[in-house]
Amino acid sequence: MRHQPVDSSLFSANRKRLACTLEPQSVAVVNANDLLPVNADATLPMQPNSDLFYLSGIEQEESILLLAPNSAHETWREILFIREPNELMRIWEGHKLSRDEASRISGIKTVHWLSDFPAIFRQLMHESNQVYLNQNEHGRASSEMETREDRFVRDCLKRFPLQQYKRLAPLLHRLRLVKSEIELELMQKAVSITNAGFKRVFRYVRPGINEAEIEAEFAHEFIRSHAYFAYSPIVASGSNACILHYQTNDRPCRDGDLLLLDVGAKYANYSADLTRTIPVNGRFTRRQKAVYNAVLRVMRAGIEGAVKGKTHRDWTREAQEHMNEELLELGLLKPRDIRNQTPGSFACRKYFMHGLGHALGLDVHDVGSMAQPFEAGWVLTVEPGLYIPEEGFGIRLENNVLITTEGPKDLTADVPVEAEEIEERMAKNLRRKISIRRNASQKTKRSA
């Protein structure tokens, strides 16, 4: 666990909220993620299961959470199962949780070793009327690889075919959309670390620097702050910025290029998702600034429009209508393009082909239905962009916004975004570098 301990009251409250949504005499199960293999005998680093973390704070492989809120066995209403440590495991893999440690992290009083799971689970299955099993039901999830949850579902259907099974994911999706105060504090921490990464990068960007070097500066700031990349960073200069999910990050940045930085930190498994576009040489051209400010106006309007009760569809449509107007002013669209657009395909999609934003939380593209109206406690990204391959640049800006009953709250308001502010910050850093070099040269001359 790289991050500071999280108050176990968060996980206890989340379990209580989930228990209230389960039907009487139910049992629910959530499994840890697999350790994913790569080549030879190697595996990827452990990626905690977001649902398991949300309900228990546990980040250790092979863990299982079992909930039976109405069980006659009071100590079986919440049970956590973890690997039993041994000396060989300690030597090869390092420290594993003790039962006391797992209980302290999760707030769950009953912690068993995994070897106890089959017998306890079988008895609870026979006592229960409904069984809630979990799977990854994100609308854009890849189903090519079978997960630990998938195998568990298949095994349950085989061994207990007469049970009444229900889907746990829809219940968790609704709960996870609404963030608690502790969750918001962790997300704000992720934002603060991300902001520090951007400020660091502003000091290093210059003509000739490679995109990979810029990624390394983000990594330096995130790792020293006990965080990770929340997703594969996009460091895209020049025409690379027109590739929406560009991740090669290996081209030198040229004088006159714009540099699109879509980078976020993950702290205590909670994500930030931030995008800025800056001039490599520190100054926007007149054309670049005009396009930049058009995107900024759409983002500002999108933030103001992220209000309780609005639907994601209406919110996105408002941004597309606004972007049509901006593209007319920029000369990229003509009135006939807008007259000829269809209801499902706005004219702006030639240059702004993605959505306005998505839910954010434990996952960058967080779970939860965007078909229902926005509610207080949701956190959304607001990320309009314009991509103009024929002019060799793309611009995207992205902030993270909390929906409240009083209106939207911009969690990323402290991150520089105005074109003039970015130019001034980069100019200040350039003056600082020149001053350092001048002082170093004078010291060398005096010592000679």
Active site residue 354: yes
Active site residue 7: no
Active-site residue (options: 337, 354, 375, 423): 354
DSSP letters for 231-267 = S--EEEEGGGGGSTT-----PBPPTT-EEEEEE-EEE
Give dist(CA 28, CA 165) in Å, integer. Answer: 10
Active-site residue (options: 78, 273, 363, 410): 273
Active-site residue (options: 15, 77, 276, 396): 396
Active-site residue (options: 217, 262, 363, 366): 262
Calculate the alpha carbon distances from 299 to 103, 335, 371 in Å.
44, 23, 21
Active site residue 313: no
Active-site residue (options: 365, 375, 423, 425): 365
Three-state DSSP class for 322?
helix
Active-site residue (options: 112, 173, 358, 366): 358
Active site residue 220: no
User: Which two three-digit tokens encode residue 402?
Assistant: 């909390």
Active-site residue (options: 246, 270, 351, 387): 387
Q: Which of 138, 141, 168, 129 is nearest to 152 (CA)?
A: 168
241 touches 387 (CB < 8 A): yes
**Angle made by CA atoms 137, 51, 309, in degrees to the nearest 5:** 70
Strands (E), 238-355: 258-263, 265-267, 270-271, 274-279
Strands 64-67 and 385-388: unpaired
Active site residue 365: yes
Give dist(CA 369, CA 138) in Å, integer. Answer: 9
Active site residue 396: yes
Active-site residue (options: 59, 183, 217, 398): 398
Active site residue 366: no
Is the alpha carbon torsion for 429, 222, 231, 318 positive or negative?
negative
Active site residue 3: no
Is the alpha carbon torsion for 438, 441, 447, 448 positive or negative?
negative
Active-site residue (options: 41, 87, 100, 144): 41
Active-site residue (options: 2, 122, 220, 245): 245
Active site residue 116: no
Residues classed as catalytic: 41, 245, 262, 273, 354, 358, 365, 383, 387, 396, 398
